[in-house]
């Protein structure tokens, strides 16, 4: 079967690395805070599918129109992003997924338009997944340009640390490191591609916890706004036994210490401890996106 006829392709996924690095065997590019998608194009045929296999044609009509400009049969891999204040905004993009009405979708395309950032090709006239990444990138550079309305992911060979510093300085999500000779591995999570995220660390008060099988499963986090403790988020504590035994040793209190927040499953405690949590960004409601528990502060 020709690869283009397989409409159930799962894109190549990334491994993880904690620290940025320089290496001439890798190219480095920005990690865009959007939703991963494959786009199949053949003359006037366009199909957009996310990594879970859901069809996104109705949600993103502006990307459909952009893709129709491209007449060469291809499968593009990239990220759908919404730009707010010159930065990718996942929360703005997320609002598009819940819309069903074509009139509301059309209105949103005017308020917060999206674009597709192309960073790889699986198919260009033929299956090219067995070709090295740098060759696939050169095909993109030669045959795809801004006249199509696409965003093209810019890459830098060898220099990951300066690009990572740029993301830190500009509050972006992070970078991706890819081996320049890597083939495209469908439905595989490969260490040939690595994501290096730029996360924020903050300290939050612990106002309670959720217990599972006699262990602390997650913490209820808050921050002071004046004299009131405002709920922020839950965070999973993981296997840090010392930390959750310290938390469980605190005497439970009857009512929630949070202002206007109550969870019937929670065990509430006096918010005398703080913990450090790493997270990607604050949501519009003030919550934390992708929070990760790091450590307990006992002072």
Task: Please compute the mean of the pLDDT values over residues 124-136 and round it to a whole number.
Answer: 98
Q: How many residues does the chain have?
A: 299
Task: Please compute the mean of the pLDDT values over residues 83-110 and round it to a whole number.
Answer: 83
CA–chain centroid gap for 112, Å, is 18
Q: Residue 241 has what pLDDT?
A: 62
Residue 84 in contact with residue 95, Cβ under 8 Å? Answer: no
Q: Residue 214 has what pLDDT?
A: 72
Structure tokens at 152: 């093209």
Task: Please compute the mean of the pLDDT values over residues 41-59 and round it to a whole number.
Answer: 93
Say how far apart CA 158 and CA 160 lie, in whole Å. 6
Is pLDDT at 164 greater than 90 in this prediction?
yes
**Taking the alpha carbons of 14, 20, 26, 31 in that order, is the dihedral positive or negative?**
positive
Say how far apart CA 78 and CA 70 lie, in whole Å. 15
Say how far apart CA 298 and CA 11 lie, in whole Å. 44
Q: Could you tell me the pLDDT band of residue 299, with boundaries at 50, 70 and 90?
A: low
Is pLDDT at 160 greater than 90 in this prediction?
yes
Taking only the tens place, the pLDDT of each residue in 202-231 is: 899 999 999 887 777 889 999 999 989 999
Q: Residue 281 has what pLDDT?
A: 82
Contacts of residue 106, Cβ cutoff 8 Å, sequence gap at least 6:
61
Tell me which fold the domain 200-297 belongs to. OB fold (Dihydrolipoamide Acetyltransferase, E2P) (2.40.50)
What is the average pLDDT score of the chain? 90
Residue 285 in contact with residue 206, Cβ under 8 Å? Answer: no
**Taking the alpha carbons of 129, 134, 135, 137 in that order, is the dihedral positive or negative?**
positive
Taking only the tens place, the pLDDT of each residue in 179-203 is: 999 999 999 999 999 999 887 788 9
Whether this model's pTM surpasses 0.95: no
Say how far apart CA 36 and CA 234 lie, in whole Å. 26
Q: Residue 256 has what pLDDT?
A: 95
Choose the weakest-confidence range: 1-10, 152-161, 236-245: 236-245
CA-to-CA separations, 194 to 16, 174, 234, in angstroms, rounded: 5, 11, 28
Choose the weakest-confidence range: 61-70, 98-107, 169-178, 239-248: 239-248
CATH number of 3-197: 3.30.470.30
Q: Residue 40 has what pLDDT?
A: 98
Q: Residue 240 has what pLDDT?
A: 62
Beta bridge partners of 28: 156, 177
Q: What are the boundaries of each domain within the chain?
A: 3-197, 200-297
Q: Residue 98 has what pLDDT?
A: 73
Taking only the tens place, the pLDDT of each residue in 279-291 is: 888 888 889 988 9
Structure tokens at 133: 């990444």
């Amino acid at each position: 079967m020709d690869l283009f006829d397989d409409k159930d392709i799962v894109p190549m996924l990334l491994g993880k690395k904690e620290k940025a690095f320089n290496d001439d065997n890798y190219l480095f590019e920005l990690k865009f805070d959007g939703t991963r998608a494959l786009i199949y194009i053949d003359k006037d045929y366009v199909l957009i599918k996310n990594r879970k296999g859901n069809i996104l044609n109705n949600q993103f009509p502006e990307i459909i129109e952009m893709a129709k400009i491209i007449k060469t049969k291809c499968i593009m891999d990239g990220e759908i992003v919404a730009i707010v204040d010159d930065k990718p905004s996942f929360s703005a993009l997320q609002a598009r997924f819940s819309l069903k009405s074509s009139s509301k979708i059309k209105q949103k395309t005017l308020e917060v338009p999206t674009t597709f950032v192309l960073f790889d090709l699986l198919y260009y006239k033929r299956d090219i997944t067995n070709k090295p990444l740098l060759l696939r990138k050169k095909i993109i550079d030669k045959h795809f340009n801004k006249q199509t309305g696409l965003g093209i992911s810019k890459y830098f060979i060898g220099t990951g640390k300066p690009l990572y510093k740029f993301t830190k300085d500009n509050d972006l999500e992070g970078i991706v490191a890819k081996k320049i000779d890597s083939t495209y591995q469908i439905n595989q999570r490969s260490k040939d591609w690595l994501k290096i995220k730029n996360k924020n660390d903050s300290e939050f008060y612990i106002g309670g916890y959720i217990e599972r099988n006699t262990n602390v499963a997650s913490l209820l986090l808050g921050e002071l706004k004046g004299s009131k403790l405002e709920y922020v988020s839950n965070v999973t504590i993981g296997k840090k036994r010392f930390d959750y035994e310290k938390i469980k040793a605190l005497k439970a209190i009857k009512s929630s210490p949070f202002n206007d927040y109550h969870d019937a499953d929670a065990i509430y405690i006096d918010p005398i401890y703080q913990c450090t949590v790493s997270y990607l960004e604050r949501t519009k409601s003030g919550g934390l996106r992708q929070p990760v528990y790091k450590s307990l502060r006992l002072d």
